[in-house]
Amino acid sequence: MIALDVPFTEDKVRALKVGDMVNITGTLYTGRDAFHKYLHDGGEPPVPLLDQIIYHCGPVVVREGDQWVVRAAGPTTSIREEPYQGDILKKFGVRGVIGKGGMGKKTLEALRECGAVYMHAVGGAAQVLARRVTRVKGVYLLEELGSPEAVWELEVKDFPVVITMDAHGRSLHEEVQAKSRLALEGIL
């Protein structure tokens, strides 16, 4: 298990490879469909994204007194952001993306070019992941995008992920798909 603090640097990221299990400590910014479209359409990021991590997640957040509290925070399917992700990585210097299900060739190429990684959180593990969120530091675009789609600034401790697409052009998703295709041909 590798422990990594955010913000990431290019050196830290280039040292990671497919299959590495990483616990992240620091800040994550949630962003899903509406945020990616917003940036793609020319919207300005509400916070500097240089060396930061975007988490594909629409958390369940409730207000308790004057605090926001995260009740569930699992990943959502990443492939929907495939048309936008590569350009956003390049334009804003984002150093990592967390989601589930993996992404495609365009993102993989951008990861290699920029020195960034795709990290897979375990889908459905909403309680394990919510408990690694220690504090909600802020929220942006809440009015404009609505709660699940807003940009939540989350402070996390030991947030567990697996590197499934690295900065060297490798994708676990491509590899598992290719191997399972061969295995299936053998079975049939």
Question: Near another protein by CB under 8 A, which window of 24-32, 44-52, 116-124, 137-145?
Answer: 116-124
Print the binding letters for residues 147-166 with another protein: x by CB under 8 A, - otherwise: -------------x-x-x--
If one asks whether residue 71 binds another protein (CB under 8 A), the answer comes out as: yes
Compute the distance between CA of residue 11 and CA of residue 5 in angstroms, rounded to an integer. Answer: 13
Counting other chains too, the contacts that 79-85 makes at CB distance below 8 Å and 24 or more residues apart are 79/103, 79/104, 80/32, 80/33, 81/32, 81/33, 81/36, 81/56, 82/106, 82/107, 83/40, 84/36, 84/37, 84/39, 84/40, 85/36, 85/110
Among 44, 65, 67, 188, binds another protein (CB under 8 A): 188
If one asks whether residue 104 binds another protein (CB under 8 A), the answer comes out as: no
Q: Which one-letter amino acid corresponds to residue 121?
A: A
Q: Which one-letter amino acid corresponds to residue 4?
A: L
Binding-site residue total for another protein (CB under 8 A)? 41
Q: Which of 72, 142 has the CB closer to another protein?
A: 72
Return residues touching another protein (CB under 8 A). Answer: 19, 21, 58-60, 62, 71-74, 76-77, 79, 100-102, 120, 122-128, 131, 146, 160, 162, 164, 172-173, 175-177, 179-181, 183-184, 187-188
